[in-house]
Amino acid sequence: MAPPITLRVAHSPDSDDAFMFWALAEGRIDTEGIRYEHVLKDIEALNQEAQKGTYEVTALSFHAYAFLADRYALLPHGASFGDGYGPVLVARRGFREADLARAEVAIPGERTTAALALRLWREGLRTRVMSFDAIQPAVAVGEVEAGLLIHEGQLTYADEGLAKIVDLGEWWKAATGLPLPLGGNGIRKDLGPGLTARVSRHLRASIAHGLEHRAEGLAHAERFSRGLSRERTDRFVGMYVNGWTLDYGEAGRRAVALLLERGHAAGILPRRVEPEFVP
């Protein structure tokens, strides 16, 4: 009998990713002899590791994917879309949009999709990279004038007296009629089509199992929700693990292509990239 294959699956330590990978991590699905080792790191760290091809399967920002398309293909399952919502640019109350001309804006990583969308929304902003979970408190105490929030901060910024300047998913939807593609799961091309097809089946089965056993999946995801209530965890998971996550569909694939096209047209992405999806 052939020895089991071990593959590393890298993703963020967040409630939505925890929900998505719960069934895979807990042995709820048949993995056909593949052992999955889960690696948890924030998305900017994963983007940087993907530059080196460190992990066989990894979550990555679509912004970063533009620099990784020679090494990774996109699995058809596991993407996060903001369908009329997404990363939120916030500031303390009294700050006006016009004040951005002189402000320093904290972003959660140079190659996060949030940073790409922000630059598509407004050119020439002065930015400063900070860990995603440090941005909200930094804005609250005035360390930076404005900050771009991803993950749970999209639901909690008002609790600290912060106000929304723009929701980039809302802006993108109004501008394009499409959801804002934020991140997906990439798989290294050197794994070959047979192994890739098996991984794709397992990932889809894990997502589907979570959606079909939502209460159990949420109980697991709550351990990674950084203090959110059960109600807010449920809401956040629902925002980013849904039908779009099971499969991009035609509209989702078009949204990814359009984001990359606009990034290149704006001079943010150095070359034109056609997204490559695993069959």
Query: What distance in Å separates the CA atoms of residue 121 and residue 86, rounded to the nearest whole number?
Result: 13
* Cα Rg of the chain, angstroms: 18
Looking at the annotation, which residues are catalytic?
151
The pairs formed by 153-162 with CB atoms below 8 angstroms and a separation of 24 or more are: 153/88, 154/85, 154/86, 154/87, 154/88, 154/236, 154/239, 155/228, 155/232, 155/235, 155/236, 156/228, 156/232, 157/88, 157/90, 160/136, 161/92, 161/93, 162/90, 162/91, 162/92, 162/93, 162/136
Task: Give which of 201, 178, 172, 207 is closest to 278, Cα–Cα.
Answer: 201
User: Residue 87 burial by CB count (10 A; 0-12/13-18/19+): exposed, middle or buried?
Assistant: buried
Rounded CA separation 137/133 (Å): 8
In the chain, alpha helices (H): 15-25, 43-51, 62-65, 113-121, 132-140, 153-156, 168-176, 193-212, 214-221, 230-240, 243-246, 249-265
